[in-house]
Structure 1
Amino acid sequence: MKKWLMFVVFSALIVTLVACSNDEAGDSDGKVELDFWVFGSTGYDVLVEEYMEEHPDVKINFNEGEMEDMHNNLFTSLSAGSGAPDIAQIEISEITKFMQAQDQFYNLNDYGAEDVEANFLDWKWAQARSVDDSFQIGLPTDIGPTTLFYRTDVMEEAGFPTDPEELAAEIDTWDAYYEAALTIMEKTGKPITDSPEMLFNAIRDQQEQQYFNEDDELIIEDTVKASYDFATKMIQEGLVGKNELWSPEWGNGMAEGSYATMPGSPAWMIANVKGNAPDAGGKWSLTTIPEGAGNWGGSFLTIPKESEHPEEAFEFISWLTSPEIQLRSFHNNGLFPSTPDVYEDEEFLATSDEYFNGAETAKIFAEAAQSVKTVYMGVNYAIVNNELATALMNVAIEGADPQEEWDAAVERINTQLERQ
């Protein structure tokens, strides 16, 4: 009787251990289960379904939310040591912050990242790489190379060509942009652009260094002060409007044609213009920005250390960020690819947009993408950016002295940096 009871107990123990082993490997039906957090309208939900059909041994739980909420939830989960997903999308403005906690993420170099590095633009790859090149926190998804959006009707009234290549040849430097602003104001009474911050950002993003060097030392006096001075000069001369980015007034101006250009507009801005000005089709176009492009936006796919399935997670994100799938994401959802092989695809290059007066949008953005410089942003990038934006708007709205506003912004920046 005792031997029989011992046999039953032993058998039950074996069953329990097997069940626990299965739970650790995947869900109850034996599949590997991956939680995937994303933000925005990526269209990845459709691709996740496709991947699961092709990989029946993998189940992916797709969770889509607002960008700020997703990043906050990820940070909280990592800090608590529980609740993080297997795969997390991180936006470029946040990637340096999470790089500070790289011990909470898998180094993708250990899973084959170096084998796919050649798929991506050099500057984009570098944004998710440690300063010493030893740690790769994410694989690149979309990008936001910048261009010059413009109102064809305003340009025509001011006597400028409306063809993208002809306009780019005429406004090919920032000095030429300033001269164009004088002409546009004289002929139409309209500012060349309506957002002081957007003008400043467009010039800043062309610099090889911006707010910090790789030792995280503040270097704005030597790098972006000239951009600030140029923008505030144009503000003081009444050549730039006074509306903040994302304000209703700024959006209304897209529909009304109350300003001529939007410098530093990335690929994803197309949707914003169409959304704010649905009846202005044919009145907008785009061309290359003076003196070379910058980048605004884009993201990466990372694998937090809490994942028990880093190999399967890496296999999935390698597929999702491959040139073939990025091309499909571009056609389906407008996510501009970070994989330059795509830029040679004939169908891709033939992409045009009738709303933007038939401009060859893909070709223009692809050329812009290949001229972007590699820039180190720094973990406190947002602190500096917010204070300089405040200074610009004080000059525009309150008529404040530009140098006094700069000095005040630098003082606020240094105070905040000392608290970090």
Structure 2
Amino acid sequence: MKKWLLLVVFSSLVIALVACSDDNESAGSDDGDAGDDSGETVSLDFWIFGSTGYGELVDEYMEEHPNVEITINEGEMNDMHNNLFTSISAGSGAPDIAQIEISEVEKFLEAQDQFYNLNDYGAEDVAGNFLDWKWAQAQNVDGSFQIGLPTDIGPTTMFYRTDVMEEAGLPTDREELATEIDTWDAYYEAAKTVKAETGKPMADAPQLVFNALRDQQDQQYFNEDGELILEDTVKEAYDYTTKMIQEDLIGENELWTPEWGNAMAEGSYATMPGAPGWMVANVKGNAPDAGGNWDIANIPEGAGNWGGSFLTIPEETEHPQEAFEFISWLTAPEQQLRSFEIAGLFPSTPDVYEDEEFLATSDEYFSGAPTAQIFADAAQSVKTVYMGVNYATVDTELNTALINVAVEGADPQEEWDAAVERISSQIERQ
């Protein structure tokens, strides 16, 4: 009798263990984990632009998730966005994951039915990883739709030539200079000093001064109802810039032109206000022999942001869960720190700003400036701003007006009126 009871108990235990084993295997095959043991390979097509350094990180992810195969397709920024818009409009040819630059986000949010709402996949659970203003840039107005997870940012500062400042009798130390030029009125007064003592303008590109002023505002070109609002703070920024142009305190070069690059190398002006972290590479590329003559200080009256992007998941993908798991990993603080180390992408995850090695990052070209600390401080003072789908249209026309004033000596008010008329006409046709 005892032997029979032992046999029954033993048999029951075996059956229970087998059942548990089967349950665990079923759970493992259905949990949606990109690294499961189902044996199926998930292929993800990933469209990117610019120098991201993502290739190395993608290789790491695939090594850790052998069932995931990620193919990077890298292109020029405008081409990539145009191809993406064409693909989602046609309903064919879109990638599984697409990088979208901040200036294009609102356009794609208007086609949000062609993208997955990342809130449905747990985006709200990782929102705390990111700067609030950066997170908000990829939402619709009421926050119910999150089109992308944040990657890098471009908090702005003021690059300056120490040799020009010294010749003008102004401070060359970055903290002393930031104290001396802490308002835009002080910037104007310093510009007059630089011009009188050196014959050089305070800044070279009108767009940089205008952008720096504009990006500090609570509202820029549009309000959240999509209405054009130019006559207040934007007009003040324009008037300030054109006043300095007419007094020969700002040069006439347009951004990205050979003349702009040459002036950078020659040290023919004093400051680059509104310069983001990624501008460091432009300065070094245009002025390779000017190391030690450049430094970085805080911008008067607070930072803005110029640039940055998001990772989105077009509706066409058959693997939204796996795509989300990957972009969550790629945009997490640990990987954003790696992207900074590999390619200089400045993190949008403030946890990184507490990393001692990150904060110790400095740049001898910029007179040993603690670049990571300076840009991290700037990033945390940026305001949340609604950009609007027609942001690029407005920006292009106002920049044209500024260049016409600087190069052709055109009347500022006439140029403003003409720009506003062109802007209104283009928006009405859309």
After TM superposition, where is structure 1 displaced by more than 2 Å over at least 4 residues in a row?
A: none
Q: Is 1:367 matched with 2:366? A: no
How far apart in 1 are the matches of 2:310 and 2:271? 30
Query: In 1, distance between residues paired with 2:228 and 2:297?
Result: 33
Counterpart selection for 1:170 from 162, 180, 195: 180
Matches within 5 A, 1:106-125: 106-125=116-135
Cα deviation for residue 332 of structure 1 reads 1.3
| Aligned match of 1:73 | 83
In 1, Cα distance between the equivalents of 2:100 and 2:343? 18
Percent identity (aligned): 80
Aligned residues: 394
Tell me how far apart the structure 2 counterparts of residues 225 and 108 of structure 1 sit (CA, whole Å).
37
**Per-residue displacement from partner, 1:40-75 (whole Å, max 9, x unpaired)?**
110101111110000001000111111011101101
Aligned-partner SS, 1:377: coil
- Relative to the length of structure 1, the TM-score reads 0.93
CA-CA distance at 1:162 after TM superposition: 1.2
Q: In structure 2, the residue corresponding to 1:395 is in which secondary structure?
A: helix
* 1:34 and 2:34 are equivalent in the alignment: no
Instruction: Look up the match of 1:406.
Output: 416
SS of residue matched to 2:149: strand
SS in 1 for 2:226: coil
Deviations 1:248-304 (A, max 9, x none): 111111110001100000000000000001111101110110000000000000000
CA offsets, 1:100-144, max 9 Å, x none?
000000000000000000000000000001101100000000000
Q: Runs of 5+ in structure 2 lacking a partner?
A: 1-38
Of structures 1 and 2, the larger Rg is shown by 2
CA distance in 2, matches of 1:98, 1:41: 22
Distance between the aligned counterparts of 1:174 and 1:327, measured in 2?
A: 34
CA distance in 1, matches of 2:264, 2:294: 9
- The correspondence for 1:208, drawn from 207, 215, 218, is 218
- Of 367, 372, 391, which aligns to 2:401? 391
Secondary structure of 2:347's counterpart equals coil
Q: In the alignment, which residue of structure 1 is the partner of 2:392?
A: 382
Once the two structures are superposed, residues 82-112 of structure 1 have per-residue CA deviations (whole angstroms, 9 ceiling, x without a partner) of 0000000000000000000000000000000
Residue equivalent to 1:95: 105
1:244 corresponds, among 254, 260, 265, to 254
Shift of 1:33: 0.5
Partner of 1:332: 342
2:80 counterpart letter in structure 1: M
Query: C-alpha displacement at 1:161, in angstroms?
Result: 1.3
Residue type at the aligned position of 2:363:
D
The 2-side partners of 1:50 and 1:160 are apart by: 49
Q: For 2:103, give the aligned amino acid.
A: S
Amino acid of the structure 1 residue aligned with 2:71: N
Q: Does structure 2 retain, via aligned residues, the 8 Å contact 1:211–1:223?
A: no
Deviation track 1:344-397 (CA, whole Å, cap 9, x = no partner) reads 111111110000000010000000000000000000011111110011111111
- Indicate the residue corresponding to 1:9 in structure 2: none
- Residue 145 of structure 1 pairs with residue 155 of structure 2: yes
1:226 pairs, out of 225, 236, 240, with 236
Runs of 5+ in structure 1 lacking a partner? 1-28
| SS of residue paired to 2:232 | helix
